[in-house]
Amino acid sequence: MRTLLLAGTALLTLAGTAIPASAQVSDNVIRIGVLNDRSGIYADLAGEGSAIAARMAAEEFGNKVAGAPVEIVVADHQNKADIAASKAREWVDTGGVDAIADVPNSAAALAVQGITKDKKRIFLMSGPGATALSGAQCSPYGFQWTYDNYAMAAGTGRALYEQGKKKWFFVTADYAFGQSLEEETTKMVKSLGGTIVGSVRHPLGTSDFSSFLLQAQGSGADVIGLANAGGDTVNAVKQAAEFGITQAGQSLAGLLMFITDVNALGLQSAQGLMLTTGFYWDMDDQTREWSKKFEAKAGKKPTMVQAGVYSAVKHYLKAVEAAKTDDADKVAAKMRELPVEDMFAKKGKVAANGRMFHDMYLAQVKTPAESKGAWDYYKIVKTIPADTAFMDPKQSGCPLVK
């Protein structure tokens, strides 16, 4: 009996010494849910690639932080806010998920932001662009990592203005997203002293842009800003090439373009196009090395959204390691405190409103002659420093900024 008691005490003591390492980690696992579009229009720019990126981040920690194993789970939100919300709720309530990552499509992201805010879970946004996510709808636990509509619009507007392109014409998708891109760019261009010579609104999902391009061509603008996305942008650029718009001296600026769009266009059509990006695989040794590893798993180079997922997940795990807990309040504080330093962001910093400040890049699409092969698409024309790339947190309307 006595020996049994002794053994029991010894066991308890042993267990007791083993617990502290992961005592602060709920259910002893750090679980990160990558929630994005896996079959629809964002599947190529986020999709499985984002899950691969998240796994790569976890592997760098040996799939273990603060003594607890790291697990990546994935789900498809099908670009529907209600599906995203119910999946997020399920993950948090019964799945033991500590952080949700990616979530392209701003409507879905806004829904998830509400849930993670109420339930105190970390939300690592790479895919969504709505500025409200780090503005009026900001959350102490929500982090907007890769880009936002302000950075894309204002960044491109400013960078092109500085290149002497001062007269703009907009081809805008006629819904909230397109209008907000146009508005942000207009504000920036006008504040610098440029002019808007005209704009035309087209319905979402237009296949023929020739009428609009003809109007833009006749407007005498220096830059034709495409305030649309995805298939609309691709069709517009393809047809602009056909009408010889860039050859005639006007610049074409895609206000929200991803490298997958350029790949879909081909360099013959896309050459000369200006765009802003948060990441390009061929920037330095670090990005090249990481992208090569990514390509080996995914079969293609990463988009900025996928690279952003990697960086955000890595920073989150770093914060968990430093805080020695997965408690959302403590981890969020650490995430704001620690600098972001990896192949994606150099000297990045998380502001009070959850916006991660990092340099953005103005890129120009190469000509077929300049390109050395597959995915060799961008020339980085200019680095847009973090503090001018993003909106000043004080003006974001986020109640967390004092």
Partner 1 sequence: MVSLLGIPPQVLFGQLLLGLINGSFYALLSLGLAVIFGMLNVINFAHGALYMVGAFVAWLLLTYAGIGYWGALVIAPVVVGLLGILLEKTMLSRLYKLDHLYGLLLTFGLALILEGAFRHQYGVSGQPYPIPAALQGGQNLGFMFLPNYRGWVVVASLVICFGTWFAIERTKLGAYLRAATENPTLVQAFGINVPVMVSLTYGFGVALAGLAGVLAAPIYQVSPLMGTNLIIIVFAVVVIGGMGSILGAIVTGLGLGLLEGLTKVFYPEASNIVVFVVMAIVLLIKPAGLFGRER
**Using H for helix, E for strand and C for coil, what is the string for 100-141?**
EEECCCHHHHHHHHHHHHHHCCEEEECCCCCHHHHCCCCCCC
Decide: helix, strand or coil at residue 276: strand
Polymer length of the chain: 402
Strands 360-365 and 378-384: antiparallel
How remote is the C-alpha of 92 from its chain's centroid? 22
Q: Which is nearer to partner 1, 254 or 393 (CB)?
A: 254
Q: Least distance to partner 1 from the beta carbon of 7, Å?
A: 58
Shortest separation between residue 32's beta carbon and partner 1, angstroms: 25
Q: Which residues contact 122 (CB under 8 A, 6 or more apart)?
A: 98, 99, 100, 116, 141, 143, 316, 328, 331, 332, 335
Note the Cα 273 to chain centre separation in Å: 21
Q: 244 vs 339, which CB is nearer to partner 1?
A: 244
Least distance to partner 1 from the beta carbon of 375, Å?
13
Give me the least distance between CB of 339 and partner 1, in Å please.
34
Which residues have C-beta within 8 Å of that of residue 49, sequence separation ≥ 6?
Answer: 294, 298, 300, 302, 303, 306
Closest CB to partner 1 among residues 66, 234: 234
Please, which residue, 184 or 261, has the CB nearer to partner 1? 261
What is the contact surface with partner 1 in residues (CB under 8 A)? 39-41, 43-45, 174, 200-203, 205-208, 210-212, 214-215, 217-218, 230-231, 234-235, 238-239, 242-244, 260-261, 263-266, 268-269
Of the two residues 15 and 369, which places its CB atom closer to partner 1 in the complex? 369
CB of 134 to partner 1, least distance (A): 27
Q: Per the structure block, which two tokens stand in for 20?
A: 């502290």
The Cα-based distances of 213 to 236, 291, 401 in angstroms read: 8, 36, 42
Nearest of 95, 91, 93, 94 to residue 103 by alpha carbon? 91
Give me the least distance between CB of 377 and partner 1, in Å please: 11
Is 153 or 265 the residue whose CB approaches partner 1 more closely?
A: 265
